[in-house]
Amino acid sequence: MEIKVVIGSITEIRADAIIIGFFEGTEHLDGDTAALDKALGGAISGLISQGEIKGKLNEITVIHSLGKLVAGRVVVTGLGKPAELSRDKICGAVAETCRLLRQKGAASLATVAQGAGINDIVLEASAQAVTEGALLGLYNFRRHMTKEADYGEIKELTLVAAGQDERQRLESGCRRGRVLAEATNLARDMANEPANYMTPGIMAERARELAADCGLEYRVLGRAEMQELGMGALLGVAQGSREPPQLIVLHYRGRDSAEVDLALVGKGITFDSGGISIKPSEKMGEMKGDMSGGAAVLAAMSAISQFKPKINVIAVVPATENLPDGSALKPGDVVTAMGGKTIEIVSTDAEGRLILADALGYAIKLGAKGIVDVATLTGACRIALGDLCSGAFGNRQELLDRVLKAAAEAGELMWQLPMYEQYKEQNKSDVADIKNSGGRYGGAITAAQFLAEFVGDTPWVHLDIAGTFLSDKERGCLVKGATGVPVRTLVNLVLSLAEGVKPSP
């Protein structure tokens, strides 16, 4: 979709539909809304007095202009109460409106900077929210459908600016929104792909292409290198599958130094059957998305390479299937992770923490000074926080606070869960240094405590996205399927950290 900013008047714009935001409790129409109402012969004010337009959040009213405007329709989108407006609400309302208009056959849309000037939402932020809403809300995954969709495509979105200065500010917001939304959609594309189209080898190939497109360094470790490095936990999970495991590494150099300021580590289980501790078959297909953390960190790297912050970032993705063949790990087995720690396998279905143990070890070996990992790690996190909010854990409050702030800016809900050391008790093993499951109670926390054992003193944050990686319905800028969470958070975090990274001498 082309998104452009033009200087002009909304009443004169040529488009299939004009989208105009409307707040609950508005008593007098002014500005663009008043101008459109006048052109439509009072249709908007008429619908308001009849009670059809109330301005409730995501209420959508389509008014046909019937030749009174060059644009075919004026669509009034409710933005709720102005005091409650946020960038995420703008994003969601635009997404819902765009989907409805696509269904109605519109191909070109025009709007203005929705909500700008309210609750500290500046012009750039408004344009960014509108752009993200359109690109994220209209996302679909039809690669494996042989029939065409019963709806067309929205090809163009025009933002109308009042003057030159406003145009520049809107363009800058649109650019930022486009990079963030396209990266999120890239993560969605990878996570939505069926597991037979997204094997560890294919995932590595996607990362290689991404690196070539974005000017990133790319490296991949296979079984032999993993053996040399002593990655017994990752190799253990992989041994039940015929697909060879891949440890994918991308390197972004934003400043002239060999230091690695941050590592983004993402779980890349391309299919999680549970292994010998096999999962129930109902909804097992959802586990094609068990590489969503890996997809998110790879996609974040593509956005980072476009913003060019002065910071060095690597992405590390351990990719493998978790399947139960004759050579698979068995409950009761003991494996040795990269640093030499031994792990008792209580459940082969707690495989995410095993592959992450070695990936975290490898990130530290590469010199990472900070780590954020992202994983569809525990059903327990989904139970604790539901499907709206990701869980956040860590060993440094300062880094955690930065991640939470980046998430809030992105409109991606995230909530910190505790890391009380008393929980470590549950991970104690009778036969090895640690066991890979601490039982059902507090499962998200004991999983995080397990990971903490493999990062030592390195500042680290763990994001459990088991609840949020999938959406079961359309909801604002989310559509059914992979959500692409937390790509926007990761990119915001890296941009914010780059401001504080010392330039090398």
β-pair partners for 335: 343
- Kindly state whether residue 373 participates in binding Zn ion, applying the rule CB under 5 A: no
> What is the 3 state secondary structure string of 161-215?
ECCHHHHHHHHHHHHHHHHHHHHHHHHHHHHHCCHHHCCHHHHHHHHHHHHHHHC
Nearer to ligand BES by C-beta: 144 or 283? 283
Q: What is the nearest approach in angstroms of Zn ion to the Cβ of residue 272?
A: 4
Q: What is the nearest approach in angstroms of Zn ion to the Cβ of residue 287?
A: 7
Nearer to ligand BES by C-beta: 409 or 433? 433
Given 167, 169, 178, 382, the residue binding ligand BES (CB under 6 A): 382
Please enumerate in sequence order all residues whose Cβ is within 8 A of that of 434, keeping only pairs 6 or more positions apart, or say none.
Answer: 341, 342, 343, 344, 427, 428, 450, 453
Given 96, 182, 272, 344, the residue binding Zn ion (CB under 5 A): 272
Given 378, 468, 489, 492, the residue binding ligand BES (CB under 6 A): 378
Q: What is the nearest approach in angstroms of Mn ion to the Cβ of residue 351?
A: 5
Separation in Å, CA 370 to CA 22, 252, 277, 297, 458: 44, 15, 33, 15, 6
Cα distance between residue 391 and residue 400, in whole Å: 11
- Kindly state whether residue 173 participates in binding Zn ion, applying the rule CB under 5 A: no
Given 193, 290, 344, 373, the residue binding ligand BES (CB under 6 A): 290
Given 132, 189, 349, 373, the residue binding ligand BES (CB under 6 A): 349
Nearer to Zn ion by C-beta: 237 or 363? 237
- Kindly state whether residue 132 participates in binding Mn ion, applying the rule CB under 5 A: no
Residues 374 and 297: beta-carbon distance below 8 Å: yes
Binding at 378: pick from Mn ion, ligand BES, Zn ion, none (beta carbon under 5-8 Å per type):
ligand BES
Angle at CA 62, nearest 5°, toward 61 and 63?
115
Mask for 10-49, x = binds ligand BES (CB under 6 A): ----------------------------------------
Nearer to Zn ion by C-beta: 71 or 265? 265
Mask for 318-357, x = binds Mn ion (CB under 5 A): -------------------------------x-x------
Which residue number is nearest to Zn ion in terms of Cβ?
272
Structure tokens at 228: 């040399």
Q: What is the nearest approach in angstroms of ligand BES to the Cβ of residue 95?
A: 24
> Out of 353, 382, 435, 488, which one is annotated catalytic?
353
Cα distance between residue 222 and residue 231, in whole Å: 11
Residues 374 and 300: beta-carbon distance below 8 Å: no
Please enumerate in sequence order all residues whose Cβ is within 8 A of that of 391, keeping only pairs 6 or more positions apart, or say none.
Answer: 381, 384, 385, 414, 415, 416, 417, 444, 448, 463, 464, 467
Given 88, 193, 272, 464, the residue binding Mn ion (CB under 5 A): 272
Told to judge if 279 belongs to the known catalytic residues of this protein, a careful annotator would answer yes
Cα distance between residue 136 and residue 242, in whole Å: 35
Please enumerate in sequence order all residues whose Cβ is within 8 A of that of 397, keeping only pairs 6 or more positions apart, or say none.
Answer: none
Cα distance between residue 436 and residue 331, in whole Å: 10
- Kindly state whether residue 384 participates in binding ligand BES, applying the rule CB under 6 A: no
Interface segment toward Zn ion; rule CB under 5 A; list 164-172, 270-278, 384-392, 414-422: 270-278
Q: Is 131 helix (H, G, I), strand (E, B) or coil?
A: helix
144 Cα distance to chain centroid: 22
Told to judge if 396 belongs to the known catalytic residues of this protein, a careful annotator would answer no
Please enumerate in sequence order all residues whose Cβ is within 8 A of that of 431, keeping only pairs 6 or more positions apart, or say none.
Answer: 334, 344
Given 272, 321, 344, 358, the residue binding ligand BES (CB under 6 A): 272
Please enumerate in sequence order all residues whose Cβ is within 8 A of that of 24, keeping only pairs 6 or more positions apart, or say none.
Answer: 54, 55, 56, 57, 78, 79, 80, 81
- Kindly state whether residue 344 participates in binding ligand BES, applying the rule CB under 6 A: no
Mask for 277-306, x = binds Zn ion (CB under 5 A): -------------x----------------
- Kindly state whether residue 321 participates in binding Zn ion, applying the rule CB under 5 A: no
Cα distance between residue 418 and residue 444, in whole Å: 10
- Kindly state whether residue 376 participates in binding ligand BES, applying the rule CB under 6 A: yes
Q: What is the nearest approach in angstroms of ligand BES to the Cβ of residue 124?
A: 35
Interface segment toward ligand BES; rule CB under 6 A; list 81-89, 96-104, 343-351, 391-399: 343-351
* Binding residues with Mn ion: total (CB under 5 A): 3
Which residue number is nearest to Mn ion in terms of Cβ?
349
The residue whose two tokens read 């989108």 is 77
> Out of 279, 396, 475, 480, which one is annotated catalytic?
279
Which residue number is nearest to ligand BES in terms of Cβ?
379
Please enumerate in sequence order all residues whose Cβ is within 8 A of that of 253, keeping only pairs 6 or more positions apart, or say none.
Answer: 217, 312
Counting runs of H as helices and runs of E as strands, what totals does the chain give?
Answer: 14, 20
Contact residues: Mn ion, CB under 5 A: 272, 349, 351
Contact residues: ligand BES, CB under 6 A: 272, 290, 347, 349-352, 376-380, 382, 437, 443, 466
List active site positions. 279, 353
Contact residues: Zn ion, CB under 5 A: 269, 272, 290, 352
